Structure 1
Amino acid sequence: MTSAVVFIVPIVILIGSTFGSILRTISNEAQNENVKASTQFEESISNIRTVRAFANEQFECSKFENTLERSKNLNTLLGYGIGVFQAGTNLFLNSIVLGTLCLGATLMSTSQLTPGDLMSFLVSTQTIQRSFAQLSLLFGHFIKGKEALRRILYYSNLSPKISLSDGIEINENAFIPTIEFENVSFAYPTRPKQSILNNLNLFIPPGKTVAIVGTSGNGKTTIANLIERFYDVNNGTIFISGTDIKNLSPNWLRGSKIGIINQEPILFAQTIRENIRYGKNICYSDFQVYEAAKNANAHEFILNFPDGYDTILGERGVTISGGQKQRIAIARALIKNPSILILDEATSALDAESERIVQKTLDEVGKSKTVVIIAHRLSTIENADIIIVLKRGQIVEVINFFFVNFYEYSSSFFLLVLLFFLILLRFLLLSALAEITQVLKINTRQINTKDCIFTIIKDKSYIQ
């Protein structure tokens, strides 16, 4: 009987392992469908205004129901598989007991086994039965838990390609807000074959406002992302204050030296005060919060809310308008007083009057900073010192906008200066001509006098 048990149990374990592998595959697919359903639901709720704007409520519901149906089918199949495994395990264990009794009775009838030995063997087999029964009950939880643990370990073991804290911090007095791209080439990891920047060479001097323009898809926002070091370049080097950006601490660089205002600002479901203070992880005073809001032309509309700065915003700031969100985001960037300011269509969501006021504020704030403007509108870049035109990831033109404005808005001054010089030249010419005429008249008189004396002397008869 021992030989029979030793022979059968490994076979059953092998069958159970094979069956368990199939169930793990089903469990993995079910987990993926669950994640897909959750993501789809969250996306639909987050973009509910867009869904309603296009009257696609039924379409989203149908899409979500289809995803849920696939998830339900896979989970049902997984449940059936676990049930079959547990039923098969119980059947096998009970078969062991039944087989032990039948085989033991046969051996007892031939006097090859005593009743005491049979009872001892039954107790042993029941111990094995109870152990396997407990394992079969835990097997379903084990399959689901193992897949969940696998996903958790996958993400927890991921290490960031860019370490957040490694790197040096440049002393405040030694930091110069210069930006330099040296032969930089870059492609996004999700599109490695589509190059965005191609051997880009760019130098942004300190304290200057540089506007980067060009059609969509030519790498304007990519430059901003690389300055923030959200990605590392594929080739070339980026220097900040003359130091390779890879040698600088990203937390220090983003936390104190670079401020960014995106085209689509993201706000948290917190108070307005907390959103503005989020600009840096230190406790700012209310006075600093108010000053930043005033500079962003946000103070007035914030005070119009019933709770003022303690007004709680909805998720992603859905309870306020796009222009209000943008101004709060601008205040959040200005509160930490960064040395480098990146404006990625920062005023695109504002009306003309608010844009004029905020742009004036940004121009004033940017006088002591290195400002990188990414824009398409002329009103945003008209005060830039330098304009860089991008095409296919390369610089095709560089314009010093200061001289363009000077010639454009001072043309009448140049005309006045030119007219003044023409009048002065005419006056000088007339004066010179008058002098020449005067000299010629004097010489003519002298010549006539000499001729007269000579004639008198020669004509002796006249003297006689």
Structure 2
Amino acid sequence: MKASGSWRAFFALIRDTRPSKLLIASALSLSIVSTIVGLIVPMFTKNLVDGFSLTSIGTMQVVMLVAVFLAQALTSALSTYLLARIGQGVVAKLRDRLWRKLLILPVSYFDRHPTGETVSRMTNDTGVVKGLISEHLTGFATGIISIIGSLIILLSMDWKMTLILLAAVPLLLSFMVPLGRKMHKVSKGLQDETAHFAGVLSGVLSEMRLVKASGSESREYEEGFKGIRKLFRFGLQEGGVSALIGPAVSFTMMMLLIIIIGYGGVRVTSGEMTAGGLVAFILYLFQIMFPVSQLGTFFTQMQKAVGATERINETLRAEEEDFNSGKELARIGEQAITAENLVYGYGEDEPVIQGIDFTLPPGKVTAVVGPSGGGKTTLFSLLERYYSPSGGSIRIGGEPIGAYSLKSWRSRIGYVSQESPLMAGTIRENITYGVEREVSDEELKRVAAMAYADRFIEEFPHGYDTEVGERGIKLSGGQRQRIGIARALMRDPELLLLDEATSSLDSKSEAVVQEALGNLMAGRTTVVIAHRLSTVVDADQILFIEKGRITGRGTHAELLRSHALYREFAEHQLKQAAGRDENEDMGGQEGQEGQEGR
């Protein structure tokens, strides 16, 4: 993207936030007033120097001078505040737009973009835009006005000396333009590395228990240190460019000042200029020098903001989910869900799902088993419409599920995963998560009782208002699962998806959760991914998936007779169950012996 195009993209992004035109006009008007007032001071000084005497300084002149300074200070302060308010308003609307966008992006977007990188777009990149508007736009606006106003007055005072002043413009541009391009490149790299570093931090800090349990502190330190070094190098490059811009502008201006003083002194000696005129000229030169320095800073920050804009626009342009288009699905009811020649793959690799067909009978339990990596979880994602199949279709009652709105389709689905995710908040908020209607205490307690969660909840001092911590860390695995089941019960789903819902639990917790799942599955079309035989043995049908294909289907007894790999799977599970029971018996015996010893 060319620089001019990038600048247009930046201004288009700001325009889309619809900042108050009244506030912008007021801020700019005050800036103009402040600058014009400042332009009066050198002329007042000229008259004072040319006709200086103690008797010429009257009370009125002193009062007017003080009034001028106060007016300039007041208008400058108001202008700065209004621009800060505009900047805060712009970034708030920009973050609101980004947040709204992120929530309607498909799951595939988050598969490709790390969480930390996305958070960086919301915080760091929008902060760069805010800084430009709030901190540097004032200097840009007043600087332009001050430079133009000063040049007009200087031309009227002495056009020959003003032409000498203007000769510095090509010199300034000769190094400002390439330095600006360099800053744009450095800023983009810095923002990308900042986003990557935020992703590393987010991933490590969210899994700190795994880091410590694995003794991987040194490894993660090295990974983090690499990011810190890269940020350091980008920071040095940025500092180097900034270090060149400031001194270059100052050097040019100081050389001009020396030339003006020398040439002006000659003109004063020859009588072509008064001493007061030379003083005024120098003061106006300062009113050009300082704004030029501010403009240099502004263009440096502008390059950063342009880089941030490109990243923000990438997110805003990403394809989003359409929740509301399509027909309304009133009920799944007695309709079967069928898949016909279903195909799906992540990218250009071999498809994970390769032409499978199946039917989910209404109100029945279908278990999906098979080796890891066979496509079981991908199948769930297709049922939930996180992804669209690249071939074939999923239908309900003969109608493709894509014909129904996402909102109505997903509202019919209840999902319980292997580690039911919880949001930071209370137990009440997690059970009612996603439920838009008002939920009574009686209904809350009823679904908690059906999930066998009411007893442990009521043992907490704050009951249903107990905070669960980040990702539910304050609860045990079994407790989190039962909260997840209660949440699914609260939704009253017609299609239930259970993704290895008991595989990570001990036998005691599994027994309780299985009873809760029994309450949840009653009368619902259910699809179960399971590794444990106890979960699937009573299923109405079992689908055995290998390498994205269904290689066996039927009941447990039918597959034991006809499918060698399923038979091996069942025998392996029976051995594991026997070993687990033996361990529990040993544990119980040791506990009894210990009690007798005491």
TM-score tier, shorter chain, comes to 0.7 to 0.9
2:384 aligns with one of 218, 228, 233: 228
**1:375-405 per-position Cα deviation (integer Å, ceiling 9, x unaligned):** 1111111121111111111111111348779
Q: Give 1:46-445 correspondences, 5 Å limit.
A: 46-100=206-260, 114-115=272-273, 128-155=288-315, 157-172=316-331, 176-188=334-346, 191-254=347-410, 256-401=411-556
How has the CA–CA distance of structure 1 residues 377 and 401 changed in structure 2, closer, same or farther, with 3 Å as cutoff? same
Separation in 2, partners of 1:53, 1:130 = 58
Deviates more, 1:355-364 or 1:341-350: 355-364
Contact in 2 for aligned 1:385/1:402 (Cα 8 Å): no
How has the CA–CA distance of structure 1 residues 365 and 324 changed in structure 2, closer, same or farther, with 3 Å as cutoff? closer
Shift of 1:299: 1.6
Shift of 1:368: 1.4
SS at match of 1:287: helix
SS at match of 1:320: coil
Contact in 2 for aligned 1:279/1:335 (Cα 8 Å): no
Separation in 1, partners of 2:395, 2:177 = 56
Structure with bigger helix share is: 2
Shift of 1:230: 0.7
Q: Aligned letter for 1:207?
A: G
SS at match of 2:491: coil
Separation in 1, partners of 2:325, 2:226 = 46
**1:390-422 per-position Cα deviation (integer Å, ceiling 9, x unaligned):** 1111111111348779xxxxxxxxxxxxxxxxx
Unaligned segments of structure 1, at least 5 residues: 406-464
Shift of 1:140: 4.0
1:12 aligns with one of 172, 187, 192: 172
Unaligned segments of structure 2, at least 5 residues: 1-159, 561-598
Contact in 2 for aligned 1:177/1:339 (Cα 8 Å): no
**1:259-283 per-position Cα deviation (integer Å, ceiling 9, x unaligned):** 1111122111111111111152322
Shift of 1:40: 2.2
- The residue that corresponds to 2:567 in the other structure is none
Separation in 2, partners of 1:232, 1:291 = 36
Separation in 2, partners of 1:404, 1:120 = 99
How has the CA–CA distance of structure 1 residues 235 and 118 changed in structure 2, closer, same or farther, with 3 Å as cutoff? farther
Separation in 2, partners of 1:333, 1:395 = 28
- Highest CA radius of gyration, 1 or 2? 1
Shift of 1:94: 2.8
Separation in 2, partners of 1:332, 1:192 = 37
Q: Aligned letter for 1:184?
A: L
Contact in 1 for aligned 2:363/2:524 (Cα 8 Å): yes
SS at match of 1:368: coil
How has the CA–CA distance of structure 1 residues 181 and 8 changed in structure 2, closer, same or farther, with 3 Å as cutoff? farther
Shift of 1:146: 3.4
Identity %, equivalent residues: 32
How has the CA–CA distance of structure 1 residues 326 and 374 changed in structure 2, closer, same or farther, with 3 Å as cutoff? same
Q: Aligned letter for 1:182?
A: E
Q: Give 1:13-52 correspondences, 5 Å limit.
A: 13-52=173-212
Shift of 1:114: 4.7
Shift of 1:107: 9.1
How has the CA–CA distance of structure 1 residues 306 and 119 changed in structure 2, closer, same or farther, with 3 Å as cutoff? closer
How has the CA–CA distance of structure 1 residues 257 and 251 changed in structure 2, closer, same or farther, with 3 Å as cutoff? same
Separation in 2, partners of 1:217, 1:56 = 27
Q: Aligned letter for 2:343?
A: S
Separation in 2, partners of 1:160, 1:168 = 21
Separation in 1, partners of 2:400, 2:260 = 77
How has the CA–CA distance of structure 1 residues 200 and 3 changed in structure 2, closer, same or farther, with 3 Å as cutoff? farther
Contact in 1 for aligned 2:447/2:490 (Cα 8 Å): yes
Contact in 2 for aligned 1:261/1:342 (Cα 8 Å): yes
Shift of 1:250: 1.2
How has the CA–CA distance of structure 1 residues 6 and 306 changed in structure 2, closer, same or farther, with 3 Å as cutoff? same
Separation in 1, partners of 2:459, 2:382 = 39
Shift of 1:79: 2.0
Contact in 2 for aligned 1:297/1:327 (Cα 8 Å): yes
Contact in 2 for aligned 1:177/1:207 (Cα 8 Å): no
Q: Aligned letter for 1:236?
A: G
Contact in 2 for aligned 1:215/1:391 (Cα 8 Å): yes
SS at match of 1:335: helix
Separation in 1, partners of 2:343, 2:281 = 75
Shift of 1:337: 0.9
**1:33-80 per-position Cα deviation (integer Å, ceiling 9, x unaligned):** 322333322322221111111122233233323322321232233123
Shift of 1:106: 8.3
Q: Aligned letter for 1:393?
A: G
Q: CA RMSD in A?
A: 3.0
Contact in 1 for aligned 2:416/2:488 (Cα 8 Å): yes
SS at match of 2:317: coil
Separation in 2, partners of 1:60, 1:404 = 46
Separation in 2, partners of 1:239, 1:94 = 77
Contact in 2 for aligned 1:82/1:139 (Cα 8 Å): no
Shift of 1:144: 3.4
Shift of 1:284: 1.6
Separation in 2, partners of 1:165, 1:5 = 63
TM-score by length of 2: 0.61
